[in-house]
Amino acid sequence: MPKQTPEERRIILDEMYQAFSVASEGAYAFVCDLKTELSRWSEEAVAYFNMPGEYMENAGSLWEEHIHPEDRAICHEAIASIMAGTESDHNMQYRAINADGEYVVVTTRGVVLRDTEGNPNFFGGVIRNHGSHSHIDPVTGLRNQYGFFEEVRAQVRKGIPCHLVLIGISRFSEINNVYGYATGNRVLQTLGRSLEKAVGADGKVYRMDGARFAMITTKLPEEEIRLRYRERKANLMSGYVVDDIRHCMVTNAGMLTVDSFDVGDQAIYACLNYAYDESKDRQQGELVIFHNTINRDSRKTLEMVHVIRDSIVNDCRGFYLCYQPIMDADSERLSGMEALIRWHDDRYGEVPPNDFIPIIEKDMLFPRLGDWILRTAMLDGRKFLDRYPEFVMNVNLSYAQLEKADFVKTVIAILDETGFPPENLCLEITERCRLLDLEMLRAIIQELRARGVKFALDDFGTGYSSISILKELPVDVVKIDREFVKDIEKDSHSMATVEHISGLAAVYGSHVCAEGIESAAMRDHLRQFSVDSLQGFYYSRPVPFDRILEHFPG
């Protein structure tokens, strides 16, 4: 039999997938070419379990990462037997993690198809999701977020431009806490009906997570959407009577236009969430349109986010770390360094972190990138410990990492894996962590500090950082934002502010690091104010690790 080309095998793969799809009856179909290791999975499975794409290489290994750790070993043996061709059928039930970070029970059934010579050729089957949700929200009767993503994918496949709007109400938990969940559900039902009335026959409304709803329209222009939202916002603010109580609802909304069709639904949702959070956090609930929140064309940004997500899935390809030294203020000897993420792509070139981090933070994949940053920084940092035993590696944290239930376990596991001493690690809490529950944040800090890990409060004096936060959180270092340092040589207010922060930090037993040092004169002025360490361009810009090694040979 003549050898088949990759293109011919791809055609056969697609034909077999179609056959399995017809017979799947509500389950997720998949087919794997055992000779090329190219697989095709149903789009529903890809979305539900957050897999890289409909077509995947080495899908078995990628799928293993989703299997519960307690089930993984036995599943690995079964998958390896199938890929090696020693087993002809597969029937196994286990737990797998979905895109929301929840484990659901699934049953995988498949069969090995052999060629005319009896060699393993293809492996096809179905994954039945016993935790699969209906596409209807039981509270409001609207289609839920699974229906929303299904519709978004359909619009992208068809190449039909559409507007997406994410709408939510602030402080909804207070309604549940004060009046009970039954009243809370009726409020959600009222809100759902209100939004359906506003959209009418011009679009569809979906119940998303919590007190958030989404709307998809291919008919309404941007200005009409803005007008209808303002009317609905005013009506909800004036209040709706539910259970004889008038509830005044404060709404937030973000909007995104989808007119690029080489992107995935999760990239779209990350950008939509970014616009929504801008509305909630900075624009007093006004409708925020995605292209007004960024410096570059929104279509290019959406495409870039799609590529970045793909990079993260593929072992954080294109990402690398730069390091900026932190110097002891008295001796000017290296005391540590801060790890800073960078991303390079052949198409987009060198992309500044501020162009992608605020958006990608909204994505469920971000914790995976955060783990990569931690691991890479620790592995690099180990190379400094012999030369600088007191050296501390600073790594920025995102709220997306901190809100994960297993964050502490993850940090401990990476410390054990890399052999990096916990007392040489300092985790920086950044300005964007301001929305986290303080009790939860305090518990995380206390547990890791008990193991020796240090914590720094970044950007002190701006946004998130304040006296009350310093009082609430046990931190080792306070980092003075560069805004308070840049005029230190001539501005008496800057001097007084730095002196005040230094004194305040001393009250709570925290060291002080001043950022933004650009000259010897700035250094000398700051030495007057009990500053313990200095960081800035005067010593070095952020540079790749090999250049740091050259600059600080020991």
The one-letter amino acid code at 168 reads: G
What is the pLDDT, as a whole number, of residue 378? Answer: 97
For the chain, percent of residues with pLDDT exceeding 70: 95
Here the tokens at position 119 are 């060699």
What is the pLDDT, as a whole number, of residue 267? Answer: 87
13 falls in which pLDDT band (50, 70, 90)? very high
How large is the average pLDDT for residues 244-264? 88
Domain limits, the chain:
6-129, 145-293, 316-551
205, 209, 212, 218 alpha-carbon torsion, rounded to 10°:
-30
20: alpha, beta or left? (left if phi > 0; alpha if psi -120 to 50): alpha
Q: Could you check whether 6-129 and 145-293 share the same CATH topology?
A: no
- Given a cut of 90, whether residue 449 has pLDDT beyond it is yes
How large is the average pLDDT for residues 506-535? 90
Looking up tokens 């004169």, which residue turns up?
A: 521
What is the pLDDT, as a whole number, of residue 434? Answer: 62
Tell me which H or E stretch contains 375: helix 366-385
- Given a cut of 80, whether residue 173 has pLDDT beyond it is yes
Average pLDDT, rounded, for the chain: 87
What is the pLDDT, as a whole number, of residue 5? Answer: 87
What is the pLDDT, as a whole number, of residue 164? Answer: 96
Does residue 469 or residue 194 have the better pLDDT? 194
Residue-wise pLDDT for 94-146, tens only, equals 889 988 788 888 888 889 998 888 888 999 999 988 765 557 787 888 888 88
Here the tokens at position 212 are 């958030």
How large is the average pLDDT for residues 33-55? 90
CATH number at 6-129: 3.30.450.20
CATH number at 316-551: 3.20.20.450
What is the pLDDT, as a whole number, of residue 301? Answer: 82
CATH assignment of 145-293, among 3.50.50.60, 3.30.1360.120, 3.30.70.270, 3.30.70.2740: 3.30.70.270
How large is the average pLDDT for residues 357-369? 86
Give every CB contact of residue 507 below 8 A, 6+ residues apart in sequence.
none
Number of H helices, E strands in the chain: 19, 23
- Given a cut of 90, whether residue 532 has pLDDT beyond it is yes
What is the pLDDT, as a whole number, of residue 26? Answer: 65
Residue-wise pLDDT for 94-106, tens only, equals 889 988 788 888 8
- Given a cut of 90, whether residue 336 has pLDDT beyond it is yes
26 phi, psi to nearest 5 deg: 90, -10
465 falls in which pLDDT band (50, 70, 90)? low
Task: Provide the 10 A C-beta neighbour count for residue 260.
Answer: 18
What is the pLDDT, as a whole number, of residue 140? Answer: 86
For the chain, percent of residues with pLDDT exceeding 90: 41
Does residue 138 or residue 11 have the better pLDDT? 11
How large is the average pLDDT for residues 377-406? 90
How large is the average pLDDT for residues 204-218? 94
Residue-wise pLDDT for 420-435, tens only, equals 999 999 999 876 666 6
Contact at 8 Å (CB) between 399 and 436?
Answer: yes
295 falls in which pLDDT band (50, 70, 90)? very low
In this structure, of 294-298, 316-320, 438-442, 524-528, the range with the lowest mean pLDDT score is: 294-298
In this structure, of 35-39, 60-64, 73-77, the range with the lowest mean pLDDT score is: 73-77
Question: DSSP strand E in 162-299: where?
Answer: 162-169, 204-207, 212-217, 240-242, 245-247, 251-258, 287-289
CA distance 67 to 73: 9
460 falls in which pLDDT band (50, 70, 90)? confident
230 falls in which pLDDT band (50, 70, 90)? very high
What is the pLDDT, as a whole number, of residue 296? Answer: 53
Please give the distance of CA 427 from its chain centroid, rounded to a whole number: 18
Q: What is the pTM of this model?
A: 0.66
175 exposure class (CB count in 10 Å sphere: 0-12, 13-18, 19+): buried
What is the pLDDT, as a whole number, of residue 450? Answer: 96
What is the pLDDT, as a whole number, of residue 393? Answer: 97
Q: Tell me the sheet residues that pair with 168.
A: 212, 252
How large is the average pLDDT for residues 159-169? 93
- Given a cut of 90, whether residue 302 has pLDDT beyond it is no
Strands 55-57 and 38-41: antiparallel
Terminal CA-CA length for the chain: 65
Residue-wise pLDDT for 21-32, tens only, equals 877 766 889 999
CA distance 259 to 245: 43
422, 423, 425, 431 alpha-carbon torsion, rounded to 10°:
110
